[in-house]
Amino acid sequence: MKTKTQTKTKSEGLVKVLKYIKSLFVSLIITFGLIILFAFIIKWVDLPDAYITPVNLVIKALSVFFGAMILTKNGQRGLVNGILFALVYTLISFTIFSLLAKSFSLGLGLVSDFGFNGVVGAIGGIVGVNIKKK
């Protein structure tokens, strides 16, 4: 027979997993939405190729920041959870976009994505922890 502590621990773990999934889902929706919006802007306005990389960084930063913030809202250990969220997001988004492009390219770009997203995730996690519940 299970004790109350074992049942509580399992339900707390499930809540954490569901919160991670929700945060990842929100982040990926933000990413896809902003990429589609930017694609329409590129189609309508003649933008130089030099704008693509900075805009992609902003899209990633917004997605990771808000995802980490949602994950850690009213929680604890915002820095650690924000970094972990950013690493998981980077891995999942890399996999999805590589599948869509039908090419996997491991290199310094992926390493820099992990680093950049880790910093943004840490900031989002810190902000999320410090949001006060009303």
Q: pLDDT tens for residues 42-96?
A: 889 888 888 888 999 999 999 999 999 999 988 888 899 999 999 999 999 999 9
Q: Please, which pLDDT band fits residue 112 given cuts at 50, 70 and 90? A: very high
Token duo for residue 17? 């997993």
Count of all residues that appear for the chain in the document: 134
**28 CB neighbour count, 10 Å cutoff:** 16
Q: Is 18 part of a structural domain of the chain?
A: yes
> In the chain, how many domains are there?
1
Assess if residue 82 is contained within a domain. Answer: yes
pLDDT at 97: 87
Sign of CA dihedral 107, 88, 94, 99: positive
**Could you tell me if residue 84 is inside a domain?**
yes
**Integer angstrom CA distances of residue 79 from 21, 86, 123, 131:** 18, 11, 7, 14
- For the entire predicted model, the pTM comes to 0.85
Which residue segment(s) compose the domain that 35 sits in? 4-129
